Structure 1
Amino acid sequence: MDGTLQRRRSLVVTLLFLSGLVIILGIWLLESRLGLIGRVDRFAYPALAMLCAVMPILLRWLPHRRTLLELAAYGAVAAYVIINLLDIVTRAPGTAQYAAASQLQWLPLLYVAAFVLLDRRIARMAAGLVFGLSMLPLAVLLLGGRPADSALLMLLLNAHAVHFLILAALSFITTLNARYEDAAQRARRLEGVAATDALTGLANRRGMEQMLRRLAARPGHDVGLVLLDIDRFKSVNDSFGHLVGDELLAGAARRMRRALPDHARIGRWGGEEFLVVVPEGGADVPAIAERLRQAVSAEPHPVAGEVTISAGVAWWHSNQPLAAALRQADAALYEAKSLGRNRVILADPPAATELAGAA
C-alpha cells in the first residue's frame, strides 16, 4: 500500500473510532434515561467508549502493530455483541426483542468493517467466525424450545438469514474487486511492455506518441523536441554485425538517459533515431541536446570505436500541429548530418543556427 493510501486509510480508521465513541456515548445516555439499558451494557458501554477513545492514540504510537490492534478492537466489539445476545436470550427480559434487535443491527457493520479494514483472507475468516458465533443465541433458543420465545426466535432467524446474504454479497464483491484489480494490473503491465523498446528499455514510438497526445490535450504549452540519430550506424552494422550495433544502441541509450534532466523524456523513435521531449521547454532545450551529444561521444564502443550523434532541435506549441514541429526537427537533423554530423542544429525559422561544431 503506498504512502498516500496508507494515510487516508489511517484517517478513515481514526474517524470510525471517534464516530463510534460519539454513538456509544449517545446510546448509553438515551438508554439510561429510558430505562432500556441491559445489564451487560452497563459495563460494556464504558469499556467500548474507552476502547474507541484509546485506539486512535495507540494506532498513532504503534503503527507497526496496526493489524494486531485493529484485530483486537474488532474482536472486542464482536465479543460484546455475541455475549450480549447470549445474555438476552438466556434471561429473556421484557425488553428482549428491543435488546436483541439493537444488537443484531450492529452485526452487518462488523462484517463490512472486516472486509474494509482487514486483508481479504483474514476478513473472510473474521466475518465468518463472528457470524458463526452469533448463531449461538439462536441455538440456545432452538434447544430451549420455549413457546414464549417464538417472536424472539423469528427475529433471530430473519436477522441471520439477512446477515448470511450480506456476507455472501461482501465476499462476492471483494472477490470481483480483487479480480478486477489483478486484470487492471496485468493490463497496465502489458500496456507498459507495448510502449517500451525491448533493446534500450526506453519508451518506443508508441509510448512517445502517447506522451505527445497527453501534452496535446493541454494546449498553450511550449514543448521542446530533440530528434537524435546515431551517426554512421549502418556502417557499424555492416562492418561489425547487428549484435555490435545493438550493443552500441543500448549503450548510447543508457548514457543519454543518465544525462537527461528529470523533467525530460527520451524514447526510441525508430531504428537508430531517438526523440527527446522536454515539457515547458524553452532556452534550455539546446543545452540539453548538447549535453546528450557530449555524453554519447565521451565513451567509445570497445569494438565499433567512436560513437557520435547528430541532433535537430525544434519547439512545438501544443495548440499547433505536432507534425509541423517534427518536420522542423527532422529538417534540422538532416542539416546536422549534411554539415558533417556530431553536432546540434536548431530549427528556428526562418534561419537554422548551429549550436555545436563538429568534433
Structure 2
Amino acid sequence: MSLKIEEYVNLKALNTLGLESVARYFVRVESLVVLREALAFARERNLPVIPLGEGSNVVLSECLDALVLLIRLKGRVVVESQNDSVLLKVGAGEHWHSLVCWSLEQGFYGLENLALIPGCVGAAPVQNIGAYGVELKDRFVSLEAIDRQTGEIMTLSAEDCAFGYRDSVFKSRLLDQVVITSVTLRLSKTLMPELDYGALREKAEVLACERGQPTGMDICHAVCDIRREKLPDPKVIGNAGSFFKNPVVSDEHKAALKEKFAELPAYQVSDGWKLAAGWLIEQCGFKGCVKTDGAGVYEKQALVLVNHGNACGKAILKLAGEIQATVKERFSVNLEIEPRIY
C-alpha cells in the first residue's frame, strides 16, 4: 500500500469532543510501510506529527499545521499459549472495547474491568488506562513502537514504560518521539474477578443471580452499565471522558481539608491520598453549567467537560482553566488536565 497524503481534512468526526479542527496533512495508516513513509514525509517538511486513534482523549485546535496519522494498524494474534494464560499481540489501531469483548469470547480474562473505555489499543499504554481496580500495567507485557526520526522498531517492556497513575514514559522522555504500533498483553484462561468496588460487585452479582458466580461477560456488562450511567455518549454530546486526573495530596493536606470539609471523599494510595476531582468541581458549582460559547460540564458527572455543539478547543480549555483556578482557590488543590492538547 503506497502513501496517500490528504490535505486540509476536517477532523470533527474523528474526535469525541466534536471540535471543528482541520489538519494540514492527513494519512490513514494501515501498515508499517505507510507509517514509515508518512514519518519520512513529516521529517522532510519539518512537520509535527499527531497520531490519532479514536480521538477520545484529545483537545484539538481549529487549525493543525501538522501531519495527522489516523492509526488503523490491525491484528489480534495469540503468540504464546500456556495452560493458564496466553500472550496476545494486538495492533495499535484495534478498538479497545471490541478487544475486551473479543478476548472474553475466546475465554481470555483480565480486561473485563476495563470495558467501554474509549479509544484504540495504541493509546492504552500512553495513559496507562485503568478502572475499577485494574490498570493496563497489570496485564501488560511489552509493546512495539516506531522511532519517529529513524523509522526503526523498538520493543519496550513494562519497566521501560515507567507506568504510573494515568502516566507513562510516553508523557515524558518519549513524548512525541515514537508511534506505538502494537501491544502485547498476558491474559488468564481462568477468571479471577476483581470486584473490590461495591457498585461493580452489586451489579455483577445481580447479573449472575441465576448462576451464583458472575462470568467475565457479567463483569464486562456491569462495568458498561456503570460507565453509561456516569458518562455521556459522545455520539449524543461531545466529550472526552474524564477531563481531569484525580489529584493526590499529602497526609497533612488531606487532614486540613477534612477539618473544613468533613464529607470530602479521600482514598489512601501509595504516595498519599487520592481525592475525587469530580466532587471538588461540583462543590465549586460547575456541575451542569453551560457557557455561551458551547462549552459546559456534564450534568451527571462534574469530571466531564462537554461540547454542546458549537464549542471550539479554546472554549473548552477556557472553561477548564476557570475550573482549575476555582478549585485551587477553594481547596488549594491543583487539577491536572488529562486529555492531550494539540
Do Structure 1 and Structure 2 share a fold, with TM-score over 0.5? no
TM-score, normalization: structure 2? 0.19
More strand by percentage:
2
More helix by percentage:
1
TM-score, normalization: structure 1? 0.18
Q: RCO higher in 1 or 2 (8 Å CA, sep ≥ 6)?
A: 2
- Select the structure of larger CA radius of gyration: 1
